[in-house]
Amino acid sequence: MSDPFQVLGVSPSATEEEIKAAYRKLAKQYHPDLNPGSTTAEAKMKEINEAYSQAIKIKKGGQSYSQSSYGGNSSYSSGQSYGYGGQSNQYGQNGYGNQNSSGQGGYWNPFGFGGFSGFGGFGQQNDGQSSYRSNYSQTYDNPELQAASDYIATGRFQEALNLLNRIPSHDAAWHYLNARANLGLGNRIAALNSARSAVSMDPDNQEYRNLLNQLDYGSQTYREDSGGYDFKSLLCSNPCLTCCIANMLINCCCGRGGYFCC
**CA 42 to CA 44: how far, in whole Å?**
5
Contacts (CB under 8 A) with another protein, residues 82-121: 83-84, 91, 95-96, 108, 110, 112-113, 115-118
Angle between helices 172-185 and 143-153 (to 10 degrees): 30
Shortest distance, position 178 Cβ to another protein, whole Å: 13
Taking the C-alpha atoms of residue 217 and residue 122, their distance in angstroms, rounded to an integer, is 11
User: Segment 29-68, which members bind another protein (CB under 8 A)?
Assistant: 31, 33, 46, 49-50, 52-53, 56, 60, 67
Closest CA to 119 of 34, 56, 193, 163: 56
Rg of the chain in Å (alpha carbons): 24
Q: Which is nearer to another protein, 27 or 153 (CB)?
A: 27
Q: Let me know how long the chain is.
A: 262
Among the listed ranges 134-142, 148-156, 167-175, 230-238, the one in contact with another protein (CB under 8 A) is: 230-238
Selected from 14, 27, 58, 201, the binder of another protein by CB under 8 A is 27
Nearest distance from C-beta of residue 110 to another protein, angstroms:
7
Q: Which of 37, 137, 204, 248 binds another protein (CB under 8 A)?
A: 248
Question: Looking only at residues 123 through 182 of this chain, which bind another protein when binding is defined by CB under 8 A?
Answer: 182
Considering only residues 182 through 211, tell me which ones interact with another protein, judged by CB under 8 A: 182, 186-190, 192-193, 196, 200
Helix 206-225 with 118-133: angle, nearest 10 deg? 170
DSSP 117-164: -HHHHHHHHHHHHHHHHTT-----SSHHHHHHHHHHHTT-HHHHHHHH
Work out how close the CB of 192 gets to another protein at its nearest, in angstroms, rounded to a whole number. 6
